[in-house]
């Protein structure tokens, strides 16, 4: 979250313009029908389909565990990331690339990328829940690697399609990941805090 604050300050002072222009120019230069179709699909899937899949995922885990905790974590994570992104957009008010750069419709302010932030937050919590289910080191590594790869694809798609600057998606990534780990930390600490109030040892998760 500290990285997000520092990056926001740099964007506000327009210190990232050269980096953003260079990355955008590189993305535009390498556009082609195949890449455009791939990244458009990834970008579209990062909104409603991802949120729907995560809700179903959380509901299934909740049924299996006979606890509302997994579903609550997913909902809190998604809504929290979206709210933080929206608030930051209003505060910074950065315009999108637009013009001939943008090849998909994108409304509102550009910084940070809500697509990237929500994706990063949701896959962070998903990796946490899956790691807790498997309890194996190799499987845990695989879940976290997949989570990072999915977020990277969404971030790249938003820059490639001209919907965001590079620093928009970088900020979205750190904001979403930071919020995701905040939710995970809260979930890990809640039993400890509750047990102390009740005066008995906390059960491990």
pLDDT tens, 54-109? 999 999 999 998 999 999 999 999 999 999 999 999 999 999 997 788 888 888 89
* 3-state SS class at 38: helix
Q: Determine how many CB atoms are found less than 10 A away from the CB of residue 26.
A: 12
Determine the pLDDT at residue 168: 96
Segment 19-26 long-range contacts (CB within 8 Å, at least 24 positions apart): 19/166, 19/167, 20/165, 20/166, 20/167, 23/159, 23/165, 23/166, 24/97, 24/101, 24/159, 24/162, 24/165, 24/166
Give 202's pLDDT tier (boundaries 50, 70, 90): low
Determine the pLDDT at residue 135: 67
Determine the pLDDT at residue 205: 54
The string of pLDDT tens digits covering residues 91-101 is: 999 999 977 88
| Window from 48-62, 133-147, 160-174 with minimum mean pLDDT | 133-147
* Omega of the bond leading into 112 within 30 degrees of 0 (cis): yes
Q: What are phi and psi of 200, to 5 degrees?
A: -140, 160
Q: CA-CA distances (angstroms) from residue 167 to 74, 118, 152, 163, 186?
A: 26, 16, 13, 12, 28
Determine the pLDDT at residue 101: 86
Distance CA 153, CA 96 (A): 19
Give 154's pLDDT tier (boundaries 50, 70, 90): very high
Determine the pLDDT at residue 200: 59
Token representation of residue 56: 């179903």
């Amino acid at each position: 979250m500290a990285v997000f604050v520092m990056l926001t300050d740099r964007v506000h002072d327009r210190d990232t313009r050269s980096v953003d222009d260079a990355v955008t120019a590189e993305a535009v230069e390498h556009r082609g029908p195949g890449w455009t179709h791939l990244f458009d699909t990834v970008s579209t899937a990062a909104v409603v389909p991802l949120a729907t899949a995560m809700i179903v995922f959380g509901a299934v885990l909740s049924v299996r565990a006979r606890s509302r905790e997994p579903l609550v974590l997913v909902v809190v994570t998604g809504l929290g990331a979206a709210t933080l992104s929206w608030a930051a957009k209003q505060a910074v008010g950065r315009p999108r690339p637009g013009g001939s750069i943008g090849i998909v419709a994108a409304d509102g302010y550009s910084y940070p990328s809500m697509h990237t932030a929500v994706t990063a937050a949701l896959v962070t919590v998903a990796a946490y829940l899956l790691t807790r289910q498997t309890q194996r080191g190799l499987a845990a590594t695989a879940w976290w690697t997949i989570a990072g790869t999915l977020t990277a694809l969404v971030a790249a798609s938003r820059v490639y399609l001209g919907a965001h600057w590079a620093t928009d998606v970088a900020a979205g990534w750190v904001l979403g990941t930071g919020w995701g780990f905040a939710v995970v930390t809260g979930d890990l600490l809640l039993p400890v805090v509750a047990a102390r109030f009740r005066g008995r040892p906390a059960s491990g998760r």
